[in-house]
Chains A and B, each alone.
Chain A
Amino acid sequence: MMRRPLPVVERPDAWPASYGDEARPRLGFFTDTTLCIGCKACEVACKEWNDVPADGYVWTGNSYDNTGGLSANTWRHVAFIEQDRPLHVAPSKARLREAEMRDGAAGPDAAPLRDRPSGGAPRGDGYPPPDAPRGDGGEGMRWLMSSDVCKHCTDAACLDVCPTGALFRTEFGTVVVQQDVCNGCGYCVVACPFGVIGRREIAGSKGVGMAQKCTLCYDRTKDGLEPACAKACPTESIQFGKLDELRERASRRLEQVVARGFDGARLYGANPDDGVGGFGAFFLLLDEPEVYGLPPDPVATTRDLPSIYGWMALAAGTLGALVGLSFLGGRR
């Protein structure tokens, strides 16, 4: 069978060049959070398929999130954010005016619709200011839900700092820990700018003492299956596929949701020039990344390695100079 030429998605230096003929198109996730309904099917499917141990029965009190965040024992995590503001802003001024006329608001100084109890009288205190986001129907609350996962970074700090080579890049351009090589040093844990990867500490469980994270279901993708989370997602909030296709689809989707007036929509991780060279698993978010517990400007720490080693060399030289100076005074 003729193999089609590979789409060169990223830098040529490592993947896919290191795989030569065996390289496959880069795979990834596009998590469209506007479609997430918070059912956590992805969390469950991931745990089941990957045999990830249970890590406690905790009641956090943080909306419906009783998982907390990604860790050695959570490879998909659904975040729940309750916000006191509408999901949509008006798609056009004309439409907003139309709604205001219908609701009997008088003139441009009327308070935005969302501040009236079910379309009743304006609050009348002039707050929020007129340029604040306006509701399109009195809906004053929105619920952001987002399924987080390892980003499978193009420049993966976890992989760079791994001292044994246990973390490696697969033929699909994803980042995976080899359990038989990992020595549990924990360096990747502090290198990841997203706090994704962890060392499993649950005594008696599989892979204890070793680094654990999403493999993008390497065992399934090798057999042409989609990862468990994407398979289980009932709304296609988690979309799996070739990364370049996902990026195209995502930019079309962004235009769509912006046109529909979703407030604060942006792609996160779709830019190949970002601090990790683009994410293999990227997102459509409706607010700042930090609202979802994500870093606003992640940079792979190893990007600074030249300066880190440079300062280290300077300091080592200084130590040598200190030795030299100490002996200048002779024996006394």
Chain B
Amino acid sequence: MTHFDSIGRDRRSRGSNPAPDSYYGHPIVKEPVWELGIPIYFFFGGLAGASAALALGARLTGNARLARNATFAGMVGVVASPPLLIRDLGKPARFAAMLRVIKVTSPMNVGTWLLNATGGGLSVAAGCELLGILPRLRDLATTGSGLFGLPFATYTAALVADTAIPAWHEARRELPFVFIGGAASAAGGAAAIITPPSDAGAARRFAIAGALVELAAGFVMEHRLGLLGEPYSQGRAGRLTRLSRVTAGAGAAVMALAGRRRIGATAAGSLLLAGALLERLAVFEAGRQSARDPRYVVDAQRRRVAAGTSRGASTFAGLPDERETLPAAS
């Protein structure tokens, strides 16, 4: 007879403890200390990064008006980001502390550099646009920010995936796609609001494609995760998820059907922006919920133990049969 039950628990130690899988239901991992500013930053960061990429695309295809407007939309994200981060840290000098090293093992550190690169490029490009000067420099800055904008819009997914929070860590495959989808729908939506429809075709397509990627990746994620997908569909996170999906879906539909009229584009763009923001809030809340309940931590790890893929934190010696041969304790 094996000493381990079907999910890898040591049978010899089962007792009548009423809640044997947790310590008085206490969480095992810590809930994030981050407040609402952080998921809002995720949204603005995505808006900035994807807008920078959209601006580059517009510049390359000679759509000057869209390039200019996407740059300005990106600037909104760039301007909003540092205050949100500093609000969480406490004082501005603490933001600068992240710039004393380049540390690849810390997605937060990497992201700070990406924010600087994308934000710096966008600022230069926006300045040139406003003053109508230095088109070469403007194009160079647009190119830089457009390229850095791609990882910048994505890294926040890597940031949350690189934690011990079960609903985030186990979702490391799909989360980046959820985030770029949201970023694209926000950036496309914002540009479509402020750009005359005749110049905004690419922005509309970008927005619709983004919303579709966001929705699809979200569904795949929730279903692949099984029990760990629960937090995304339950409680406050579940309400936010459903609201974000309805909003983003409606935004994409309105954009497709009425996006060529200014009023339709404005309505659709607003819905898409709201959907992308709600989706970041939902992911954030799902992470908190999964941290609060030790079941999610234990379940994912117990499944590894059962599958024989655990890393063996517990080591045993002396099985009961061997005990028989040992001299009795006096």
Residues of A within 8 A of B (CB): 60, 62, 65, 68-69, 71, 79, 81, 83-85, 89, 91-95, 131, 133, 157, 160-166, 181-187, 189-195, 197-199, 201, 209, 251, 254-255, 258-261, 263-271, 273-275, 285-299, 301-302, 304-305, 307-309, 311-320, 322-327, 329-332
Contact = CB atoms under 8 A, between A and B. Distances in A.
Chain A CB within 10 A, most for which of B106, B172, B327: B106
B294 A261 contact: no
Contact of A161 (B13, B106, B172, B180): B106
B316 to A, nearest CB: 5
Given A92-B326, A191-B164, A258-B323, A163 B106 contact: yes
B155 interface: yes
B74 to A, nearest CB: 13
Nearest to A85: B15
A285 B169 CA distance: 27
A146 B164 CA distance: 23
A274 B53 CA distance: 42
A309 B158 contact: yes
Contact of B27 (A133, A195, A269, A331): A195
Contacts of B173: 307, 311
Contact of B305 (A85, A264, A297, A305): A297
Q: Secondary structure at chain B's binding surface: helix, strand, loop or mixed? A: helix
Interface stretch (B201-209, B247-255, B263-271): B201-209
B212 to A, nearest CB: 10
A159 to B, nearest CB: 9
A201 to B, nearest CB: 8
A301 B29 contact: no
Contact of A274 (B26, B105, B155, B311): B311
Contact of B313 (A254, A296, A308): A296
20 contacts: A81-B17, A183-B94, A184-B94, A186-B33, A190-B32, A191-B162, A191-B163, A197-B30, A201-B33, A261-B329, A264-B12, A266-B314, A268-B314, A293-B294, A296-B298, A308-B158, A312-B157, A316-B153, A319-B180, A322-B184
A244 to B, nearest CB: 16
Interface of B: 1, 9-10, 12-13, 15-17, 20-24, 26-34, 49-50, 53-54, 56-58, 60-61, 63, 88-90, 94-95, 97-98, 100-101, 103, 105-109, 112, 150-151, 153-155, 157-159, 161-165, 169, 172-173, 175-177, 179-180, 183-184, 188, 198-199, 201-203, 205-206, 209-210, 213, 287, 291, 294, 297-298, 301-302, 304-305, 310-318, 320, 323-324, 326-329
Given A161-B106, A325-B205, A185 B317 contact: no
Contacts of B304: 297
A152 B26 CA distance: 22
A266 B315 contact: yes
A138 to B, nearest CB: 16
A288 to B, nearest CB: 6
Contacts of A251: 317
A271 to B, nearest CB: 5
Contact of A320 (B13, B29, B109, B150): B150
B203 A326 contact: yes
Given A296-B302, A312-B176, A326-B206, A259 B326 contact: yes
Contacts of B165: 190
Contacts of B54: 323, 326
A217 B327 CA distance: 41
A73 B294 CA distance: 21
Given A186-B33, A304-B162, 10 more contacts: A162-B106, A186-B88, A190-B163, A192-B164, A194-B28, A195-B27, A201-B33, A259-B326, A293-B26, A297-B302
